Chains A and B, each alone.
Chain A
Amino acid sequence: MKMVSAVIKPFKLDEVREALSTMGVQGITVTDVKGFGRQKGHTELYRGAEYVVDFLPKVKLEAAVSDDLVDRVIEAIEGAARTGKIGDGKIFVTDLEQVVRIRTGETGREAL
């Protein structure tokens, strides 16, 4: 099992969710995050005062998936979240040791 987490542009969230659910991902967790990467921040001007905004708002989504789905999930996120412009985000994949469905007590693949 793998944990796929992706940091994407906020307005791409709906497209990514749709792509993932059509290919059979059962659930994702979404968080509003801020961060910086290669995309620079911007400056805001209020009368005489200038403020540099370093951290840009992004959305982070996490999906726990079975090994055979991983490549297709990555592809789906890539395809749905890409605009071709700087700041599209990144996808991180890590090993997932255990999953438990709290209601039934199922574990491993059964719980996905």
Chain B
Amino acid sequence: MKKLLITLTLGMGLAFGGLNAMAQTDAAPAEPAAVTTAVEMAAEPATTEAPAMAAEAAPAAEVAAPAPTVDKGDVSWMMLSTLLVIMMAVPGLALFYGGLVRSKNMLSVLMQVLVVFSLISVLWAVYGYSLAFGGEGLIFGNLDKVFLLGITPDSLADTFTDNVKIPEFIFIAFQATFAGITCALIVGSFAERMKFSAVLLFSVIWFTLSYIPIAHMVWGAGGYLLDKGALDFAGGTVVHINAAMAGLVGAYMLGKRIGYGKESMAPHSLTLTMVGASLLWVGWFGFNAGSNLEANGGATLAFINTLLATAAAVLAWILGEAMHRGKASMLGGASGAVAGLVAITPACGSVGPMGAIIIGLLSGFLCLWGVSGLKKMLGADDSLDVFGVHGVGGILGALLTGVFTAPGLGGTGGEDFSIASQVLIQAEGVVITMVWSAVVAFVAYKVVDMLVGLRVSEESEREGLDISYHGETAYNR
């Protein structure tokens, strides 16, 4: 059954690709050619050898269409940012999660993060990028760029500045890392008890039907929430709320781990969790400041906000712990850092530094409640608190973006910025993402359960997924 499904999917994919290849062959050569001539024309006025020609050519170029600028600084920054986001996923997120599980499941978590990230990166090039960023549409893009058809090193993608472009390849790679890390985030919710094949199959379905449409709605041309004016600079809704809902639904549908609440499920290495959290923090500068798509003042605003909100959230979380339980913990500090990073993600491009500190402080306190009080209320075994940190932090960040973007509060909003109406728009984005992701996740888990089964056998779970699913152990025993 499994093999049949894979063959079918592959076959369909190839057929689609073939059709598109035929459709594209006529149109494709024309675009890069146009781009190259424009660049040449722009370069000409600078040459000193033919001033007369330059004088003639320059006004002509202006009248026709100003040549797009591709700045080497921007290109370097985007390549660096993409590397940083890859580092967030592997090894950052993998180690952060890995340290939190029991030693018998260490490798299964590292594997799931690594392989899900790799799988989604490939699917992004095959059809994800085209459906998310190709063409205009309310919910999806189109299939014009499946298999990255027609895209060459000369193809350009827009930035936030008119006529300033970056090579499309780096934009595709940058966005691929976002899709990959979002799907990898969900792993934390069903860690220690889900079949490896089920994890992969679920990731494919959820990526296709939830990540892609939400990404398009928020960032894609003609997207529903983009047109509404929702602010989500680096992916608070697309990445964090989206993944957290899928995780929470998964925690309910898989059920609790054997022995949950009775046996000790203490993290096996908080040292590795600290290493992972630190890599996440550093990598997040690529995630947030990279989302500016240019190396300019806007990127530095996102940069400083990512620093300050995170630091504030660390302080808030451990202060909350110290007041509530008498001790400040390392895990609390690391969790606070992630909470602050999540909360500042949608806001980092439009709030001011002091707004970022307040968002960070509030996210530290609220996410501490998210992993304790709220977790008890929800009653789900969300193994590594994906909802408590990414869901709660994401929702808080999305809503507060609508508050602290106000110019009176240090944000970059225009004179006519209205907190009330912006918060309403933000809330709409949050609700749409939560419902959309939950419904898709529910259906996806059901389908996966029917095809391969979701949960490992009791024996495998007790033995640990490292041995039962991957045939190896993390540490000498």
Contacts and interface: CB of A to CB of B under 8 A. Distances in A.
Interface of A: 44-49, 51, 53
Interface residues of B, number: 17
Contacts of B388: 47-48
A44 B385 CA distance: 18
Interface in B250-276: 264-267
Interface in B355-409: 371-373, 375-376, 385, 388
A interface majority secondary structure: strand
B335 interface: yes
A45 B267 CA distance: 10
A47 B266 contact: no
Nearest to A44: B266
A70 B327 CA distance: 45
Interface string B120-139: 00000000000000000000
User: Which of the listed residues A44, A49, A51 has the most CB atoms from chain B within 10 Å of its own CB?
Assistant: A49
A48 B264 CA distance: 13
Given A47-B332, A48-B385, 7 more contacts: A45-B329, A47-B335, A47-B372, A48-B373, A49-B266, A51-B264, A51-B265
B266 A48 contact: no
Contacts of A48: 371-373, 375-376, 385, 388
B477 interface: no
A63 to B, nearest CB: 30
Contacts of A45: 325, 327, 329
Contacts of B266: 44, 46, 49, 51
B260 to A, nearest CB: 9
B331 interface: yes
Nearest to B382: A48
B390 to A, nearest CB: 14
A109 B373 CA distance: 65
Contacts of A51: 264-266
A35 B240 CA distance: 44
Determine which residue in A46, A51, A53 has the highest number of CB atoms from chain B within 10 A of its CB, and name it.
A46
A36 B385 CA distance: 32
Interface in B419-439: none
A48 B383 CA distance: 11
In the A-B complex, the 4 residue pairs with the smallest Cβ-Cβ separation, listed nearest first, are A48-B372, A47-B371, A51-B264, A48-B375
A48 B373 CA distance: 8
A47 to B, nearest CB: 4
B377 to A, nearest CB: 11
